[in-house]
Amino acid sequence: MPVATPEVYAEMLDKAKRDAFAYPAINVSSSQTLNAALAGFAEAESDGIIQVSTGGAEYLSGPTVKDMVTGSLAFAAYAHEVAKKYPVNVALHTDHCPENKLDGFVRPLLAASTERVKQSGLPYFQSHMWDGSAVPLDENLQIAEELLAACAAANVILEIEVGVVGGEEDGIVGAIDDKLYTTPGDALATVAALGTGEKGRYLTALTFGNVHGVYKPGNVKLRPAVLDAAQKAVQEKYGIARAFDFVFHGGSGSTAEEIAEAVSYGVIKMNIDTDTQYAFTRPAADHMFRNYDGVLKVDGEVGDKKKYDPRSWGKAAEAGMAARVVEACQHLSSTGTKLG
């Protein structure tokens, strides 16, 4: 199937919300990690979301180019071709974009998609994330409102973050403090600014103790009930049940029970990056250690071309990451839910 159209993406999200499951959103930074994500979704018979961060987009353009827009458009073009060979739908998304990178990342991509849509084409990406966690809530929502209008014009979904995810991702650092827990008041302010769909569809990453990067279970206390409180606050004021489409950020180390509870409160997208990075690198490291004298020209020897050929360890790395994507689909109950 090709990359999801805006209509198919909306149908994917509606199905997840209706049937109480979530899609893994897999961060990629190369054609190999993209292929691994696609293979994992196909094996799990799950549709899914594949995304690039600012750093991933920059890396995709080449380490001597370092242009986020170039890397993003190259990723999108490649994904649109290879996705045709897989029997699942995937949506393309750009991850965490802070204020100082909007003009070099999200806004140019939105402009390119808008122009394409005006010519009866499809947007390059199906959704974009604005990460306003580092600015005051009023400013966060003011920028979100402007971006939501631009996204709606391009038939694109906006993702926002209200609250702060702890840890570090692509240079964005969040302190581990009370701001890790979004309040019902923050949720009501979000709806007051962005509406409940009439201004355009958006996904909301409310924070409930989430931390980016590597941490062990128990290091930070996740409180998924924060999401339930937000949904109930909006329902009480506006009469709309489960108004939010939630995103779960910073989920590495989360227990299956915590993930299931978050999904029960309306999470339909969960970002996965750290775990799939390790799942990709671990088989490559294993290959290098097991074939030390083949991948290196030790003691003046010539090595073994079959061992240092990037395809030999690359296939193992892709298989390892694909298996972790399958595991994510199982945890989020998206296995076997692909659209017909």
Place of tokens 């600015």: 135
Nearest residue to 268 via CA among 21, 49, 94? 21
For 114, the token pair is: 């808008």
The 3-class SS string of the chain reads CCCCCHHHHHHHHHHHHHHCCCEEEEECCCHHHHHHHHHHHHHHCCCEEEEECHHHHHHHCCCCCCCHHHHHHHHHHHHHHHHHHCCCCEEEEECCCCHHHHHHCHHHHHHHHHHHHHCCCCCCCCEEEECCCCCCHHHHHHHHHHHHHHHHHCCCEEEEEECCCEEEECCEEECCCHHHECCHHHHHHHHHHHCCCCCCCEEEEECECCECCCCCCCCCCCCCHHHHHHHHHHHHHHCCCCCCCEEECCCCCCCHHHHHHHHHCCEEEEEECHHHHHHHHHHHHHHHHHCHHHHCCHHHCCCCHHHHCHHHHHHHHHHHHHHHHHHHHHHCCCCCCCCC
CA distances from 8 to 89, 120, 160 (A): 8, 17, 21
Q: For residues 181 and 270, what is the distance between their CA atoms, to the nearest angstrom?
A: 17
Instruction: Check if 299 is active-site.
Output: no
Q: For residue 328, how many other CB atoms are within 10 A of its CB?
A: 29
Nearest to 210 by CA among 171, 176, 169: 176
Question: 19, 47, 67, 95: which one is catalytic?
Answer: 95
Residues with catalytic roles = 95
